[in-house]
Amino acid sequence: MKVLRQHSWSFWRLTVQSASFALLISIPLLNFYLNFNLIQGWYQSLSFGDLWFVSPLEGLERILITRSIYGPLLVGMLLPVVLALLCGRVFCGWICPIHYLSDLTERVKGVITCSKRTKDRWLLPRQILWFALIGELLLSLIVGAPIFVFMSPPGLVGRELMRLVFFHALALEVFIIVGVVGMTLITRRFYCRYLCPLGGLLALIGHKRKLRVVVNPNSCIHCGKCDNSCPLGLKPQQGEGEYSQCWNCGTCVDVCPQESLSYRWRGWSSGEQHGQK
Amino acid sequence: MGMSFSPGRRTFLRSTLLGMLLAPATAAARRRYAYPVATNVLRPPGAVPEEHFAATCIRCGRCVEICPYLCIKPLDIRSGVNAGSPIIEIENIPCYLCMKCVDVCPTGALRRIPQAQTRMGVAVVDRYTCVSWKDKILCRTCYSVCPFMDKAIRLQEFKPVIDERHCTGCGICTHACPVPRQQGGKAVNVEPIYAREFTLPEEAQQIGGAV
């Protein structure tokens, strides 16, 4: 923990995000030019040798639509689901290429316009995220075909990178990615906040997660810096860091001048505060 | 009238809703989108039936990445809900039945299957354009390249004949067929087994164009 705190959480997050994005680029390169098949795929299914991951949303949708269970699929979904159970939406905050690209877009915009922070121009009720998830699953069941092929941008990024390496061309899906990333200029992480079904599912799985951002009310001076910094528009100062939709990115922990905000590993029930440091 | 939900009614509503969600999708729902498979455009080996394929595949692209011949391509968004799912255009690059893709599929969209039992489609010899059948020229390209020579393609009086019992639909014969496009396309084509519309080429046009 001490080694970690030598740098800010943003530093670590950016490192992990960059590494994840580099992985997305290097996997098709390795497969195409070196025939190195040990690591494969992207965030719909990723394989390291015989360790296979399957994205929970895609796996769930496949099970719902085909009405059949497939063992390898369930095993592949196991680790991501456990991660979400323990840590919530950490995939969104620390790995997802859309968040990374949005972050970069925001930084570039900050440099161009010399403004430190993007305003959230269009705010909607946070509950829309749940309806996006339910709507997506219901629509898939009605159509009898998965809708995530358009609505799951993290997968699209991987697919387009692969297409670029393998076929030296991009498909029209790029415009979905550009649109999703571009929406961050209107409201920060607009898609992640309100529309991403994968984020919704991970939040739902992790609504009783262990890793949370907790505010210490004794040292908090109510400066509001954390409320302004949260890319999801949550208010950590009012304890919203414990909301299921928080993706544990640690931006608020970094900006807090009093160090009142911190990551905490806590028990399953939210009221359980004693017995830990 | 009070809106008090009796336990019986609640159970009924719940089970109805659950039933609606879990009941098998009707065939009509599956037909709402067009199948991307067509003549010479096929799914990789071991694929589940086309009506289940779009739902079973999670578009992870690992079959595309592992294919050593680059014959598997992901579809793009113009194919609607089939965007991202794998397809083989055998006229460009046929499937050489290395069976690597079936080993990496995490969802069971491609099931493990012995090489000889693969049924991606079935080859059909067009006797109106095939030079062996039409012009009595001794061309036996398809026969020579077939990985199941003398089983899937036999020569009958020096003319190629397909045996559906052995043809895997790999498309190597189609890829090799020397009949040029101007003469109405390949003389041996692979039809998806579940094709609904299969029409023979128009006779007059073929003979006119062959001159």
CB contact under 8 A, A145 and B54: yes
Residues of B in contact with A144 (CB under 8 A): 25, 29-30, 32, 55
pLDDT at residue B204 tops 50: no
Return the SS3 of A198: helix
- Sole residue written with tokens 């699929």: A73
Structure tokens at B152: 């899937």
| Contacts by B8-14, CB closer than 8 A, 24 or more apart | none
Whether A31 has its CB under 8 Å from any CB of chain B: the answer is yes
- Sole residue written with tokens 């000889």: B116
| Disruptive mutation site among B104, B107, B112 for chain A (greatest number of A CBs within 10 Å) | B107
Whether A74 has its CB under 8 Å from any CB of chain B: the answer is no
**What pLDDT, on the 0 to 100 scale, is given for residue B211?**
35
ipTM of the prediction: 0.84
Whether B30 has its CB under 8 Å from any CB of chain A: the answer is yes
Q: Which pLDDT band holds residue B1 (cuts at 50, 70, 90)? A: very low
CA distance A223 to A235: 12
**How high is the mean pLDDT of chain B?**
82
CB contact under 8 A, B106 and A147: no
pLDDT at residue A82 tops 60: yes
Residues of A in contact with B57 (CB under 8 A): 62
Whether A163 has its CB under 8 Å from any CB of chain B: the answer is yes
pLDDT, greater one: A178 or B210? A178
Q: Which pLDDT band holds residue B88 (cuts at 50, 70, 90)? A: very high
pLDDT at residue B29 tops 50: no
State how far residue B137 is from chain A, nearest Cα, in angstroms: 38
Q: Give the DSSP H or E segment for A264.
A: strand A261-265
pLDDT, greater one: B107 or B22? B107
| Disruptive mutation site among A53, A77, A143 for chain B (greatest number of B CBs within 10 Å) | A143
**What pLDDT, on the 0 to 100 scale, is given for residue B35?**
82
pLDDT, greater one: B195 or A85? A85
State how far residue A251 is from chain B, nearest Cα, in angstroms: 31
Whether B103 has its CB under 8 Å from any CB of chain A: the answer is no
Q: Give the DSSP H or E segment for A211.
A: strand A211-215
CA distance A213 to A236: 8
| Closest CB from A27, A72, A150 relative to B106 | A72
Burial code of A129-163, b = ≥16 C-beta within 10 A, e = fewer?
beebbebbbeebbebbbbbbbbbbbbbbbbbbbbb
State how far residue B175 is from chain A, nearest Cα, in angstroms: 20
With beta carbons less than 8 A apart as the criterion, state whether A153 and A176 touch.
Answer: yes
Residue in chain B nearest A158 by alpha carbon: B60
CB contact under 8 A, A143 and B33: yes
What does the pLDDT average to over A31-40?
91
Residues of A in contact with B58 (CB under 8 A): 44-45, 54-55, 58-59, 61-62, 146, 148
Instruction: Give the predicted TM-score (pTM) of the model.
Output: 0.83
Among B175, B94, B182, which Cα is nearest to B142's? B175
CB contact under 8 A, A45 and B33: no
Please give, one letter per residue, the 3-state secondary structure of A29-94: HHHHHCCCCCEEEECCEEEECCEEEECHHHHHHHHHHHCCCCHHHHHHHHHHHHHHHHHCCHHHHH
What part of A 119-158 touches B (C-beta under 8 Å)? 141-150, 155, 158
Phi-psi region of A275 (alpha: psi -120 to 50; beta: other; left: phi over 0): left
